[in-house]
Amino acid sequence: MLESIVALPGDEIEIRRKEGKELVIGPGLRKDNQNTIVSMKCGLLKKKENFFWLESHQKRYVPSRNEYVIGIAVTKSAETIKIDIGSSEYASLSFLAFENATKRNKPNVEIGDLLYCRVLTGNKDMEPELVCIDAAGKASGLGVLKDGFMFKINLELARRLLSGSNQFLRELSKNIPPFEITIGMNGRIWIKTSSCKQTIFLFQAINQYSNVSESDTENFIKNLLKDYSDWE
């Protein structure tokens, strides 16, 4: 993971990998005719074993299967709800894809509501489809997000915050009153706190965090908390 090669669109990427294992290339990379790997956007080359991809400050979300996203309900029809998840097209969510939903017993979703859902189909030629249940038919946290506040960040930051090794939210939450947070892979974050001030604090803290490296996190949190107590 420590490689820090900066790639620009069209750059040829030289990939050193262990022999014998299959090479997997992820977002931002493409194999061209001459069997060379070419980058398609600007970013940092990252690798994990034999998996390579480019990390950039992209903001446009491209739906992909089994990712958890936050969407905004845009229109309702008899069977489905159209949802904006930040992709080029609206996603559709069936009224039956909620816990305990039947044809008679529809969940209560208003236009403008926020929904935390899982992407069921994320195909480049098809409308994305969402569900609010897991494989066992349980909600397990998915569904309508009531109250709180939602804001947008870049996709890379969302992935960083969601990765298990990231300590930022864990450390931050030890020092401030409890709050609820949901991070969507589409770069949307929903937070619910007990006061407006805390929400604004978290909103600014997360936005500023996008420019802070992993090793500076501890110092950054210290400064944030000092700033917060001064503000209060």
Choice between 14 and 110, CB closer to another protein? 110
Q: From the CB of 203, what's the least distance to another protein, in Å?
A: 6
Contact yes or no for 182/145 (Cβ under 8 A): yes
Q: From the CB of 92, what's the least distance to another protein, in Å?
A: 15
Choice between 112 and 177, CB closer to another protein? 112
Q: From the CB of 232, what's the least distance to another protein, in Å?
A: 12
DSSP of 35-51, one letter per residue? S-EEESS-EEEEEETTE
* Sheet with 149-152, side-by-side order of all strands: 149-152, 188-192, 180-183
Choice between 11 and 84, CB closer to another protein? 84
Tokens 């109250």 belong to residue? 147
DSSP letter assigned to residue 91: E
Choice between 197 and 222, CB closer to another protein? 197
Q: From the CB of 72, what's the least distance to another protein, in Å?
A: 5
**Phi, psi for 27 (deg, rounded to 5):** -55, 135
Q: From the CB of 121, what's the least distance to another protein, in Å?
A: 21
Cα–Cα distance, 41 to 25 (Å, whole number): 14
DSSP letter assigned to residue 87: S
Cα Rg of the chain, angstroms: 20
Cα–Cα distance, 182 to 185 (Å, whole number): 10
Cα–Cα distance, 99 to 141 (Å, whole number): 10
Q: From the CB of 41, what's the least distance to another protein, in Å?
A: 17
Cα–Cα distance, 220 to 154 (Å, whole number): 19
Reference 89, options 123, 117, 58; nearest CA is 123
Q: From the CB of 144, what's the least distance to another protein, in Å?
A: 10
Binding footprint of another protein on the chain (CB under 8 A): 72, 74, 84, 86, 88, 110, 112-114, 145, 147-152, 190, 196-197, 199-200, 203-204, 231
Choice between 53 and 203, CB closer to another protein? 203
Choice between 29 and 115, CB closer to another protein? 115
